[in-house]
Amino acid sequence: MSELKNKLADKFNPSAWSGWKAWKHYKHTGFNLIEEVNALDPDLVIDVGCGHNRFKGHIKNIIGFDQEPFPFVDIVSNIEDINFRKESADVVLALGSVQFGDRDLVRKHFSKVVEWVKPGGYIVMRTMKDSVTPYHHQQAHYIWTDEDIVNIGNEHNLEIVKGPFVENVLDAFNEIRSTRMAWWYKKPGELTKYKIDPYNCEINQR
């Protein structure tokens, strides 16, 4: 795990990382998510591996965490160490963050993410699909397959409600540099809205 952590720390060095430039190319997991997620009137949105935390101030009630200290991150932590209340989030954004290590580690991280989602809530996924260079594959990515999207979802009784879509990342010459897969899972159940009493900290349905 330490070897993986070192690789990721090198790749996502906050003082040098420029991966945010690809964000503007995403049609299904970019600016569109602001409107789509806010339409759900969420009590809590968790952005896993948020990087620059670009949805902060745009998506309602969002908390972004990352294992690297990006300037606008809310919490510095990795997936394994952080804890949120079970079934507290209307939406979890896992945009390129649940795809590192081998398949067993990816499944372990994904299982923890699923615990945070309310019944009836959503997980928005984006993972590496392919690259014109071997760089990404040397950085400990696990490449989700079409079978993984179905089978790992089925392990948690999740329904695929949007996608899978292909997201293209373009280079400076407007050529495709790499591709991603993107999709939405939905957890079974009815999405319940809550309010918190600020005096006694009780959580009630709203």
pLDDT in tens, the chain (206 residues): 555 555 555 555 555 555 545 667 789 999 999 999 999 999 999 999 998 898 999 999 999 999 989 888 999 999 999 999 999 999 999 999 999 888 999 999 999 999 999 999 999 999 988 754 554 445 577 899 999 999 999 999 999 999 999 988 776 676 777 789 999 999 999 998 887 766 777 777 77
Could you give all domains of the chain from N- to C-terminal order, each with its CATH number? 2-205 (3.40.50.150)
Which run of H or E residues covers position 95?
strand 89-95
Question: pTM (2 decimals)?
Answer: 0.86
Task: Residue 108: name the closest of 99, 121, 117, 118 by CA.
Answer: 99
